[in-house]
Amino acid sequence: MSEINRYHSYKGLPPLAGVGSFERAAGPGLSIEDCVARHKRFHYSCHRLWALMLARLTAEPIYELKMGLSHHAYLASEHVTLLRDRVAEMRHPPLGLDKVPHPELETLFDEILMSESALELLTGIYRVAFPALRDGLKRHLVDSNPLVDAPSVRIFRIMLPEIEQMIEWGESAVSALQAGVSDQDLNRIEGWADDLQLWLTGAGGLDGTSPAENEKRPEPTFSNQPWKYDKSPRRDERFPDPYNMGVHAEEFLYDDRFEDRDKVLMMYYKRLREIDVPEMMASILYEMAVGTGDEEIGGHPWLFYRDLTRQLWDEARHAMMGEVGFAKLGVDWGKDVMINFTWSKGLNEQLTPTERHAVLWFIEQGLMTKTGKRFEWEVGKKSGDPYAELIQDYDWADEVLHARIGRDWYVKNFDSVKAAAEYGSACWDKVMSDWEAWKRDGLTEHRNWWPDLYSGVCRLRGEEPNPEVLSFAETYAASRADLQRISASG
Ligand SMILES: [Fe+2]
Ligand SMILES: [Fe+2]
Ligand SMILES: [Fe+2]
């Protein structure tokens, strides 16, 4: 019997501040070098997952998948931050963290990034990559000494439940997407997922703890050609009129003639329309972090990316708040509310990442005025709809945070706030937003969908529509010259 088993804490108190038993604490562990080597692979994997989820969310048409990728890119960015900080604590500056730990690990993530369908993408992320990361973290908890390496244990215990939660979401999403896919395609995707496992084996596992076996090295399916980043937003069939600028939500919201409970409908519309902000921010982040060959590369510190990814996730949350608001009222938004994509499409296709960031900050600082977020919260409060009050309270708080993030990372590059605002405004002016041309080209009729939405809600309320409210027909065409009023996502 080892001496450690005869040793007891004072008065039977729990020993070692709760980090583990004397036996485990007296047992072996990993050297700093081995510990850092594993952390670097975990970091590389989280960073690749973060970047590839951002790379795919803009052009992914299905709303639920866009939202899931926004959430999980955010979680991955927090995991990257934890891992970077921990590496820096182990006598290793977080330099060289971009180094590829093993070429076959790189191929694994390239294959997932460049995969064709949403089903392939999700299979790669949630059935192969995240499970391998989870297993690697769990193995580290077994192999490492819980006393000497307590800080790593702590961060893995934060990460693991989040990773499990992402895998669970991904599993359900994969099952849902598999319905309606032919057996032939399902088999092909399964074969590709087996190849991904072989790339992992070739890399010695995600954490590098197994002997690297690359005898059965497969041929890459997608990554043997250059990657073409697609930053044009796409939407699913619940967005049938994506160029529609036929209902000027802000005009309605600031018009004293209208009741607050009707204004809430316009606020839910504005919230759901915020789906365009993740679409746009993902392109800033991806192009700045990874570059696409023909665009500028940001050269920002990691915390810039972490903060902007948090903001991206907040904007996705705001969109979902609008979705829930409509669902609570019994409104079929996919049919009755025309959510457009003109803002993200215009910015992504016409501006550089830096210019897009400038426009974003310019809009968000404008939300801090009396007619901005406070006004929307007051409308929610007065409307008698506690849900509208609740979401506007948090939407406001989030937007204050975003204005701060903008000050930290955007305004600091200018001599004055005024200069930063002028540049943001000038960038926005550059975006061609041609109301008439879209109509002429048959992209939209700018149909006024408000009367249908409003009368539908009146039916649900058991009331007759008010003729004045029903006749609201202000479009974005009239305020075209004042671009600041056009589809100001916020
Ligand atoms: Fe925001
Ligand atoms: Fe927003
Ligand atoms: Fe918002």
Q: Which ligand is nearest to the CA of 360?
A: 1
Per-residue confidence (pLDDT) for residue 298, from 0 to 100: 58
Query: From ligand 3's centre to the CA of 406, what distance in Å?
Result: 15
| Residues contacting 24, CB < 8 A, separation 6+ | 145, 146, 147
CA angle 139, 79, 54 (to 5 degrees): 120
Is 393 within 8 Å of 377 (Cβ atoms)? Answer: yes
Q: What is the pLDDT of residue 433?
A: 74
Question: In this structure, what token pair is assigned to residue 280?
Answer: 């746009």
Ligand 3 center to residue 285 CA distance, Å?
A: 19
Alpha helices in 240-301 (DSSP H): 249-253, 260-273, 276-289
Q: Share the mean pLDDT of the chain.
A: 93
Query: What's the CA-to-centroid distance between 238 and ligand 2, angstroms?
Result: 21
* Ligand closest to CA 365: 1
- Give 19's contacts (C-beta < 8 A, 6+ positions apart): 25, 146, 147, 150, 153
Q: Which domains does the chain have, with CATH numbers?
A: 3-202 (1.20.1260.10), 249-485 (1.10.620)
- Distance from C-alpha of 171 to C-alpha of 176, rounded to nearest angstrom: 9
CA of 399 to the centre of ligand 1 (A): 5
Ligand in closest contact with the CA of 402: 1
Going from the Cα of 395 to the center of ligand 3, the distance in angstroms, rounded, reads 5
Q: How far is the CA of 410 from the centre of ligand 1 (A)?
A: 14
Check: CB of residue 444 under 8 Å from CB of residue 241: yes
Measure 311 CA to ligand 1 centroid, in angstroms.
6
The Cα 295–Cα 456 span in angstroms is 47
Name the region of 82 (left: φ>0; alpha: ψ -120 to 50; beta: rest): alpha
Ligand nearest 321 Cα, by number? Answer: 3
Cβ distance 397 to 438 under 8 Å?
Answer: no
Cβ of 421: how many Cβ atoms within 10 Å?
Answer: 17
Determine the residue type at 486.
Answer: I
Report how far ligand 3's centroid is from the alpha carbon of 417 (Å).
Answer: 22
Residue 481, exposed/middle/buried by CB under 10 A (0-12, 13-18, 19+)? exposed
Nearest CA to 42 out of 111, 101, 115, 96 is that of: 101
Ligand 2 geometric centre to CA of 375 (Å): 15
Ligand 3 centroid–CA 217 distance in Å is: 47
Nearest bound ligand to the CA of residue 391: 3
User: Quick one: which of 39, 238, 40 has its CA closest to 153?
Assistant: 39
Ligand 1 mean position, distance from CA 363 (Å) = 9
Starting from the CA of residue 400, give the closest ligand.
Answer: 1
SS3 of residue 353 by DSSP: helix
What is the Å distance from ligand 3's center to 213 Cα?
A: 49
Predicted local distance difference test score (pLDDT) of residue 481: 35
Nearest ligand to the CA atom of 399: 1
Q: Which residues contact 440 (CB under 8 A, 6 or more apart)?
A: none
The alpha helices in 301-385, defined as continuous H runs, are 302-329, 333-336, 342-350, 353-366, 373-382
Rounded to the nearest angstrom, the distance between the alpha carbon of 271 and the centre of ligand 2 is 8
10-residue averages of pLDDT along the chain (490 residues)? 88 96 96 96 96 98 98 98 95 80 96 98 98 98 98 98 98 96 97 97 96 82 94 98 95 95 98 97 92 54 94 98 98 97 95 94 81 92 97 96 93 93 92 85 96 97 97 80 47
| Residue closest to 453 by CA, chosen among 325, 279, 346 | 325
Residues flanking ion ligand 1, Cβ below 5 Å: 399, 402
- Give the distance (Å) from ligand 1 centre to CA of residue 325: 19
Ligand nearest to the CA of 267: 3
- Please report the pLDDT score of residue 407 as a whole number: 92
pLDDT at 296: 42
**Which pLDDT belongs to residue 213?**
75
By CB neighbour count within 10 A (0-12 exposed, 13-18 middle, 19+ buried), where does 236 fall?
middle
Query: How far, in Å, is the centroid of ligand 3 from the Cα of 235?
Result: 20
How many angstroms is it from 369 CA to the middle of ligand 1? 14
Residue 114 structure tokens: 């460049």
User: 243: CA distance to ligand 2 center in Å?
Assistant: 20
Alpha-carbon span 203 to 199, nearest angstrom: 6
Tell which residue, 101, 102, 98, 128, has the closest CA to residue 113: 128
The predicted structure's pLDDT at residue 355: 95
DSSP state of 213: -
Count of residues in the chain: 490
Residue 92 pLDDT: 81
What is the rounded CA–CA span in Å between residue 182 and residue 162?
32
Task: Tell me, in angstroms, the distance from the centre of ligand 3 to residue 232's CA.
Answer: 22
Q: Compute the distance from residue 393 Cα to the ligand 2 centre, in Å.
A: 13
The Å distance, Cα 39 to ligand 3 centre, comes to 35
The rounded Å distance from CA 398 to ligand 1 centre is 7
Task: Quickly list DSSP for 78-93.
Answer: HHHHHHHHHHHHTT--
Ligand 3 centroid to Cα of residue 363, in Å, is 11
Burial pattern 134-172, b for ≥16 Cβ within 10 A else e, equals bebbebbeebbbbbebbebbebbeebeeebeebbebbee
CA of 123 from ligand 1 middle (Å) equals 31
